[in-house]
Amino acid sequence: MERRRITLREILCAAALLAVAIGLYLWSFARPAGGTVVIEQDGKTVYRIDFTTLSEPETLEVNGTVIEIGPNGAWFVSSPCPDQICVKAGLCSRAGESAVCLPQRVSLRITGEGGVDAITG
């Protein structure tokens, strides 16, 4: 029996399959690890927002603090507390990053895998 030859169509099909696979592979890597910000007040979750899909920044007020959430992450804009540690913490964008306002008992934290699990210091 004569051996059949591989046709152009088959090569194209295989190439397309390979392209899709590589594309999927890269997409699953490039997907941002930290995409959700969890805002808590005194141990209770008050907001859980996926910020990667936000088209424009959102401003929230939680127990006197003002938190802004943009497509890159979340941060404390202002707080009535005396030390302003929460405001100085700045933008939290990677998974595991967090800012806490101790006097107001408000915290924001980026969740998801791929980042850090905790912070020391």
Partner 1 sequence: MKARPVKTTLRNLPEPKAKKLALLLGAVLLVLVILIALFPLLDRTEEPYTVTTYAMGSYVQQSVYGKNSETAAVTAADAVQALENKISWRVSGSDIQKLNSAAGKDWTELSADTMEILEIAQDVAEKSGGAFDVTIAPISRLWDFDSERNTVPDSDQIASFLPYVGYEFLRLDTETGAASLKNLNNAVDLGAIGKGAACDVAVEAYAETGADAAIVSVGGSVGVYGRKESGADWNIAVRDPNTDGTLGTLTIVSGFVSTSGSYEKSFTLDGTLYHHLLDPATGYPADSGLISVTVLSDSGARSDALATACFVLGLDEGQALLETYGAEGIFIDETGVITITDGLQDRFTLTASGYTLAAQA
Q: Position of tokens 């007020």?
A: 61
Q: What are phi and psi of 77, to 5 degrees?
A: -85, -45
Q: Is 19 in the site for partner 1 (CB under 8 A)?
A: no
Q: Closest approach of Cβ 74 to partner 1, in Å?
A: 14
Q: Which residues pair with residue 59 across a beta bridge?
A: 68
Q: Is 25 in the site for partner 1 (CB under 8 A)?
A: yes
Q: Is 6 in the site for partner 1 (CB under 8 A)?
A: no
Q: Is 8 in the site for partner 1 (CB under 8 A)?
A: no
The one-letter amino acid code at 112 reads: G
Which residues neighbour 118 within 8 Å (Cβ) at sequence distance 6 or greater? 96
- Of 55 and 91, which CB lies nearer to partner 1 in the complex structure? 91
The residue within the footprint of partner 1, chosen from 6, 12, 17, 46 (CB under 8 A), is: 17
